[in-house]
Structure 1
Amino acid sequence: MKYRLLFIAILAGLGTVQANQLTFRVDMGTTPVPAGGVHVAGNFQGAAGFPADWNPATTALTDPDGDHVWEATVNVPAGTYLYKFVNGNAWGRDELVPATCGTSDASGNVNRQVVVGGSAVRLPIVPFADCATQLRFAVDMTGQTVARTGVHVVGNFQALAGYSATNDATALPLTDNNSDGIYEVTISLPAPGMFRYRFVNGNTVANAETVPAACGTADASGTLTRVVNATAAVNTTPSYCFGTCTACSGATLSNYPTYWWNDAVFYEVFVRSFYDSNGDGRGDFAGLTQKLDYLNDGNPATTTDLGVTGLWLMPIMDSPSYHGYDISNYKAVEPDYGTMADFDAFLAAAHRRGIKVILDMVLNHSSSQHPWFTQSAASTTSPYRDWYRWSPTDLGYGPFGGSGWHPRNGNYFYGAFWEGMPDLNWRNPQLKAAMWDADRFWLRKGVDGFRLDAVRYLVETGSTTADTRETLGILEEFHDSLKAVNPAALSVGEAWTNSSGVVPYVSNGRLDLCFEFDLASSIIGAVSQGSPTALRNQLNLVTSLYPRLQYATFLTNHDQNRVFDGLGSNVARMKQAAALYLTMPGVPFLYYGEEVGMAGTGPDEDKRRPMQWTAGAQSGFTTGTPWRSINSNYGTYNVATEQADANSLLSHYKKLIGLRTASETLRKGYYLPATSSAAAVLAYARVYGPEATLMVANLGGTAISSSTLSLSMSTLAPGNYQVTELYSGQAAGTVTVNAQGGFSTFTSTLPALAANQTWVLRLRSATATGTASAQPAFAVALYPNPTAGAVRLALAAAPTAQSQLQVFDLAGRLLQTRSFSGSSYLLETAGWAGGTYFVRVQSGASVAMQRLVVER
């Protein structure tokens, strides 16, 4: 249940958390109430000050006037909340919410939902286990610059729905959780009726849309408004473009934004362990600069460099610890690594080679040796006292079991990770200003963004230490601060949790990317176990959840046992794992030394040992004594030895990175599942414009001499396509793409697919023009999306001929085919299983595809 809750959690404001009254009301007139009374449980409870969310016994409703309407009022910040009523005080007595007025979570539970904006909400009375009239508003914001305060809807429905006064532009925010450009919100009404409404790009009525006369109706003041006749149990407004009477070209399966980082391959570097330039046993900026040509020499014609185009530097700021995650000065570099001038020289040298540089920024905590903390701890009257969290007693909670509170000078301070890392108090405006100033300091130096450590734990709410709405609000402020200095700056977060729980961090203008930990473990598990099933499911889930391509892929990082150990030091499996994540959607990050087979398990220091450059003394890392001993496998697994071997792991990484860099399809193509007749094969396609790349990975332990491949549909133009295996350069046959953009039972002309081998098959048109104009796309919108019921399909303009609609599931099965005329069609999803589907619409030569999520 909690995973879905995290996915929908949002903030409507910036970072300031304002409590609003939320009143729940339920009619128990036809339901006997037990001695335990009536309660309400949901994900609002922690925010409202109760000990935990989803507790059926802590939030009681009362009926003081005996009218059988039970009520409870709580104070909560802006957000979207799920809840349900409980006739008693224990699970098993909770209501079964009908799907027509509920939202399904990841566990299949159906809950009620309410959106709280900037004012009080007094929910309409609803019968226990029954529905009120549902009204969903939807507006397409494609082409609009959405205001930082979000999109809202106003109208004469507001007071009836419990949202303060009519035309309150702060009360009801809309969200775009699936990144299709359509902002949506659903409300409950006590009765059907005809209602006026307008959308607002911001949170003041002055920013409301001007509704054209073609679809507007004048109110008493002469203002043109939209009108909806909400007479059904569930009602949905058309998702016209903001300020228009028509649909517009929204994001489709093949039309979505990409950014410079989607073209990049990143390399994570621990400077202390990369290369020592002065013989003191510690890596430094000068050493990193000397080794830049290994990473990327800036000349695309050479093949001696690794080819990465981005660097993530683990903490380089002044710190008393070897790892640097306890920072004592946010505007100074670690003296072990050199001077600020040395860093500036490195940054300039990297940029000359076309390498972007992002820095590890630690927002959650500082060092206990930071002057801010020493002054905070020195006196209860210090101006820095409130920059950290203090208590006269040990409050006993922490995110990892046990207490995160530590004694100091007769009081206790909060440090979630360790007493040497006291948590910063992000509710203090002076602290916040100082941290934004530090971020801007590095951006003005020219760094290209930040990797943010431990973003789930920034702001605690009571004893809730992770994933709070206040934390998401801080990240919205961080986004604004970052983009104000450099609109192209990248932010990538470490939100180490399940995929559904990560999604809020890359939604609603927070972070650009987060690391996909579940996908990383699925890759390693699939390669280790020789089965594609779990990895296929995870790929499909990631495709369903994230904004298109906007997540970071990797195998392991500095906090995990190295992948070489995880795969049993098996080079063939390492090669396959690399082939998978370097061709998948997302933005790949390598951990330094991964490409040569560095080992490392146990203490963190052993996962961060010195880089293995040669088979010589100290592996070529230093002329002195290394800060940590060299891995025992350096004699075989090192850069010099592997550079001389065309079949080495390092050569394999170079080849894959080169293929990705050269292929726009591998960098920007959307993902489609493909199928193979061989059970051990994972197959998927990447499609971009007129081309596709089909990945075919044999995860089994034996070669596959004959198998067929199928793709159910895509936006490819029909015709014959030449197939080339890009890794080897071999011709692999010809495939005929059908009118649905798919093909079936294709068999390549290549030799057997070896165990742990992956083919990278490019499909390039041989008979068509090879351009997108051969099969032009057109705009199609689906709303509501996600849905639990019927879906309205809207085209930007009415085609002159009939259109054909096809629905496919993620297994590639064609589920429905329909023909329709005009610009609109109602698609019923009753009886469909919950999950992701592809809806394909063709009218003449024009094709559009959309992703549809059905909730059950």
Structure 2
Amino acid sequence: MLDLRINRSTFGAEAWVVQETGAVFATRAAADTAAAKVGHQADDLNMAAVPVGTTTSTLPAGWNRSGQFMEVFVRSYKDSDGDGIGDLKGLTSKLDYLQSLGVTGLWLMPVFESQDNDHGYAVSDYRAIERDYGTLADFDDLITQAHARGIGVVLDYVMNHSAAQNPLFLDAVSSPTNARRNWYVFNAADPAWSTWGGNPWRPTAYGYNYGLFADSMPDFNLKNPDVVAWHMDNLRFWLNRGVDGFRFDAVETFVENGPSAWYNQPETHAVLVQAQTVINGYANRYMVCEAADHPSEYAATGGGCGNAFAFGKQWEVRNSATSGALTSGLHAYLTASDRAALPLFLSNHDGFAGGRAIDALSGHGEGDYRVAAAIALLASDTPFTYYGEEFGMGGNGQSGDAGLRAPMSWTNAVSGFTSGTPYRPVASNMATYNAAAQAGVAGSLLETYRSLYAVRSSWPVLQSGTLTALSSPGEPHVAFLRQQGAQTAVVLINLSTASQTITVGTGLSLTAFGSIYPTAGAAVTSNASGRITVTLPAQGVAILTTP
């Protein structure tokens, strides 16, 4: 329906307004076209059902149980065209760096077309690449090039909510009788719930819409089987293009049952089980969830995720490294029956997870940092590193999460990231903490990460061997045993800022332990009952194996 309205400042004598949306047009023809689309915006989306395609994998068998992952924010990683924004071609150009570092898996923060045109978590088209990042052809090339280097690619998938500008929501909000109305959560009156950010119910032309995180990100109705089926088609769309798995965002908020039952609802697991079934239908794929408050629940059999980040344990790793003593929380992780399904990380893109690692771990000549890195990489089966963390990249001084998502510090100059002007301020410590400055420098953070990745890659027992803790809470060291088949390894990490002699009992009748890390080796004494004694320098690391 159209209204003729005077709007001299914009169009001169008159303007045409589409009443349903409030959009203003200079001509009647343009307004007629827009009015005809009201309630039918999603007609232009690719909504076709997606059958299962090729299910094989070109990656090494078991890659999904031992991957060494790097979380990458494409917008901030490498700009290939000088517009100041990172893109897929830029990331592809850095795959050799990632391979040489030892990375075997990439978690890409959302790369789909988005409303926010920044972090990507407000998705406007689930089957299109963010235009700032390139094209589907660019994405396909990234997959091909990554696989050629033995690197898997895992996509961030946002199932809880879409963008408010997603055509599906534009249709849903256009009328109470629209066919997409039940794809989102509406109520005639304001229920006035109280959640993290206050009342999540947002006023619209026809009632109130539920959007937990922001009015720009309305929640899907995941009780609607048509919505879930469409999401499953989207997963197959990307799996058929060779994607190696998914990270699922904010899974604890999937389903709402009332003002005090909008978080971690039981129906959520059924939705995730469907996703897990789709993903497991393809060989060698990986699935991990963000379930910040209940990771074990979602990693468990029937939880639907297979893996869930070990939220909370990043603090335990950091605190053990800075305090010089094994915390009870980290010890609990080392002895947990589900440890293998709970990957460790030191930092990620969200401020609530702790911020950039260098801010907390720069003490003792960065010894704290090296100790924390050793724990995170050696005690986890599929450890995750945040881009730039491998050399101590810091924040950029901006408030909120933007401060953690600065352009990558490839060199000590902006030109390392872009030939233009970066879309966001660079890291404040770029001059001294950058990849080029640390490459090849013995003892640097970058070479520490490279060496830890290398020893994991060379010894499968360090990737997925059964882990047995050999140290207790309060002790000034972390010690654990890993066993897989005929391989046995002992990891010893001195948390103290002084040299110490560590003695641990392995309970194994093995006497021929030798050092494989560091390269120079450490003097090892062992007896017939498997008792090992090693002297380690301050905040030193040793890995021992049997022949």
- Alpha-carbon offset, residue 566 of structure 1: 2.0
- Alpha-carbon offset, residue 379 of structure 1: 0.3
Aligned 8 A contact 1:659 1:727 in 2: no
2:119 is aligned with 1:336 = no
Secondary structure of the residue that 1:633 maps to in structure 2?
coil
Aligned 8 A contact 2:73 2:109 in 1: yes
For normalisation by structure 1, the TM-score amounts to 0.54
Structure 2 distance, partners of 1:677, 1:721, is 28
Matches within 5 A, 1:343-382: 343-382=139-178
Matches within 5 A, 1:270-349: 270-296=73-99, 305-321=100-116, 322-349=118-145
- The structure where strand makes up a greater share of residues is 1
Seen in structure 2, the aligned counterparts of structure 1 residues 529 and 581 have a Cα distance that, compared at 3 Å, is same
**Structure 2 residue corresponding to 1:594, chosen from 350, 373, 389:** 389
Matched to 1:593, the amino acid is G
2:315 is aligned with 1:521 = yes
Aligned 8 A contact 2:176 2:206 in 1: no
Matches within 5 A, 1:413-452: 413-452=209-248
Seen in structure 2, the aligned counterparts of structure 1 residues 291 and 550 have a Cα distance that, compared at 3 Å, is same
Structure 2 distance, partners of 1:445, 1:367, is 24
2:545 is aligned with 1:759 = no
Structure 2 distance, partners of 1:441, 1:294, is 29
- Alpha-carbon offset, residue 688 of structure 1: 1.7
Higher relative contact order (CA 8 A, sep 6+): 2
Structure 2 distance, partners of 1:451, 1:480, is 15
- Pairwise CA RMSD of aligned residues? 2.0
Between stretches 394-403 and 351-360, larger displacement belongs to: 394-403
Structure 2 distance, partners of 1:285, 1:536, is 37
Aligned residues: 479
Match of 1:161 in 2: none
Aligned 8 A contact 2:290 2:308 in 1: yes
Seen in structure 2, the aligned counterparts of structure 1 residues 398 and 552 have a Cα distance that, compared at 3 Å, is farther
Seen in structure 2, the aligned counterparts of structure 1 residues 527 and 731 have a Cα distance that, compared at 3 Å, is closer
Aligned 8 A contact 2:71 2:108 in 1: yes
Cα deviation code 1:711-754 (max 9, x no counterpart): 3x3xx5x342232142234253342343xxxx33x323xxx523
- Alpha-carbon offset, residue 399 of structure 1: 4.0
Structure 2 distance, partners of 1:701, 1:730, is 20
2:272 is aligned with 1:475 = yes
Match of 2:409 in 1: 612
What is the aligned-residue identity percentage? 38
- Alpha-carbon offset, residue 401 of structure 1: 5.1
Cα deviation code 1:110-140 (max 9, x no counterpart): xxxxxxxxxxxxxxxxxxxxxxxxxxxxxxx
Cα deviation code 1:254-274 (max 9, x no counterpart): xxxx94222210111000000
Match of 1:242 in 2: none
- Alpha-carbon offset, residue 644 of structure 1: 3.6
- Alpha-carbon offset, residue 757 of structure 1: 1.9
Matched to 1:289, the amino acid is T
Match of 2:45 in 1: none
Cα deviation code 1:608-659 (max 9, x no counterpart): 000001113x151001110111112111111111114122110110000000
2:376 is aligned with 1:581 = yes
Unaligned runs of 5+ in 1: 1-257, 297-304, 766-856
Structure 1 distance, partners of 2:64, 2:225, is 32
Structure 2 distance, partners of 1:585, 1:532, is 16
Aligned 8 A contact 1:454 1:495 in 2: yes
Structure 2 distance, partners of 1:731, 1:577, is 20
Seen in structure 2, the aligned counterparts of structure 1 residues 638 and 430 have a Cα distance that, compared at 3 Å, is same
Unaligned runs of 5+ in 2: 1-60
Aligned 8 A contact 1:498 1:518 in 2: no
Secondary structure of the residue that 2:424 maps to in structure 1?
coil
Between stretches 524-533 and 270-279, larger displacement belongs to: 524-533
Seen in structure 2, the aligned counterparts of structure 1 residues 540 and 597 have a Cα distance that, compared at 3 Å, is closer
- Alpha-carbon offset, residue 540 of structure 1: 4.1
Structure 1 distance, partners of 2:473, 2:251, is 43
Structure 2 distance, partners of 1:729, 1:368, is 57
Matched to 1:469, the amino acid is P
Cα deviation code 1:732-784 (max 9, x no counterpart): 3342343xxxx33x323xxx52322222222x15xxxxxxxxxxxxxxxxxxx
The structure with the largest alpha-carbon Rg is 1
Match of 2:38 in 1: none
Secondary structure of the residue that 1:686 maps to in structure 2?
strand
Matches within 5 A, 1:710-721: 710-711=505-506, 713=507, 716=508, 718-721=509-512
**Structure 2 residue corresponding to 1:722, chosen from 510, 513, 518:** 513
Secondary structure of the residue that 1:514 maps to in structure 2?
coil
- Alpha-carbon offset, residue 503 of structure 1: 2.6
- Alpha-carbon offset, residue 410 of structure 1: 4.1
Match of 2:289 in 1: 493
Match of 2:456 in 1: 660
- The structure where helix makes up a greater share of residues is 2
- Alpha-carbon offset, residue 603 of structure 1: 1.5
Match of 2:306 in 1: 512
Match of 1:552 in 2: 343
Aligned 8 A contact 1:677 1:707 in 2: no
**Structure 2 residue corresponding to 1:626, chosen from 405, 422, 445:** 422
- Alpha-carbon offset, residue 313 of structure 1: 0.5
Matches within 5 A, 1:827-838: none
Matched to 1:414, the amino acid is Y
Matched to 1:606, the amino acid is G
Structure 2 distance, partners of 1:330, 1:354, is 26
Match of 2:483 in 1: 687
Structure 1 distance, partners of 2:390, 2:298, is 32
Structure 1's consecutive aligned runs of 4 or more residues displaced over 6 angstroms after TM superposition are none
